[in-house]
C-alpha cells in the first residue's frame, strides 16, 4: 500500500454534527467539488452505510468505485477501504477521526492512502494527495459550519 497522508482541521461544531455530515453520503455532490454521485448500496442494521458507490470527476481524474465503511460506536472514527480495484485505483484506505474540544469545536483528522492504477511520480502523488485532503477538509468545514447544516 502507498504511504499514508494525514491532515487535520478544526470545525466550529460538535463531533455529532460533523459525523452527521460525513455519514450523509447521498448529499456529497452538494458540497464536494469532485463527487458527481454517491449512492449507498448497502447498509448496516443501524442504518449507517456499509457500502457506497462514488462517481468522481476531478478533471484529469474520473473514476467510479465502491468503498466499504466501518464506524466506531460513538462515531469518533469513520474508516473506509476500496472494495475492488477501479479504473484509476488499485487500493484506497482512509479514515476521519473526530475529537471534541472543550470549546465546542471538533478537530477532524483525515488519513488517506491511495494506490493508483496509473504510474505517478511520488512527488506528484503526494502533491495530489495534499490537494485532495486540503479540499476535502475545507469543503467539510464549510458544509458543517454553513447555516442550516445537518443538526
Other beta carbons within 10 angstroms of residue 151's beta carbon come to 7
**Mean predicted lDDT score pLDDT of the chain:** 89
Element (H, E) at 42: strand 35-43
Tell me, rounded to whole angstroms, the distance of Cα 41 from its chain centroid.
17
Return the pLDDT at 151. Answer: 47
Q: pLDDT above 90 covers what percent of the chain? A: 68
Tell me, which fold does domain 5-145 have in CATH? Alpha-D-Glucose-1,6-Bisphosphate; Chain A, domain 4 (3.30.530)
Confidence label for 55 from pLDDT (cuts 50, 70 and 90): very high
> What is the per-residue pLDDT across 115-137, written as a single tens digit (0 to 9) for each?
877 665 555 556 666 667 778 89
User: Quick one: which of 108, 41, 36 has its CA closest to 77?
Assistant: 108
Amino acid at each position: 500500500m502507498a504511504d499514508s497522508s494525514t491532515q487535520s482541521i478544526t470545525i466550529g461544531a460538535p463531533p455529532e454534527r460533523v459525523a452527521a455530515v460525513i455519514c450523509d453520503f447521498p448529499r456529497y455532490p452538494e458540497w464536494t467539488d469532485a463527487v458527481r454521485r454517491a449512492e449507498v448500496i448497502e447498509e448496516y442494521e443501524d442504518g449507517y452505510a456499509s457500502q457506497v458507490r462514488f462517481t468522481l470527476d476531478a478533471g484529469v481524474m474520473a473514476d467510479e468505485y465502491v468503498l466499504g465503511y466501518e464506524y466506531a460506536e460513538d462515531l469518533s472514527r469513520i474508516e473506509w477501504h476500496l472494495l475492488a480495484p477501479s479504473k484509476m485505483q488499485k487500493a484506497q484506505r482512509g479514515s476521519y477521526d473526530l475529537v471534541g474540544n472543550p470549546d465546542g469545536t471538533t478537530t477532524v483528522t483525515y488519513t488517506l492512502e491511495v494506490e493508483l492504477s496509473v504510474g505517478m511520480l511520488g512527488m506528484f502523488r503526494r502533491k495530489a494527495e495534499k490537494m485532495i485532503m486540503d479540499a476535502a477538509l475545507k469543503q467539510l468545514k464549510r458544509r458543517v459550519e454553513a447555516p442550516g447544516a445537518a443538526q
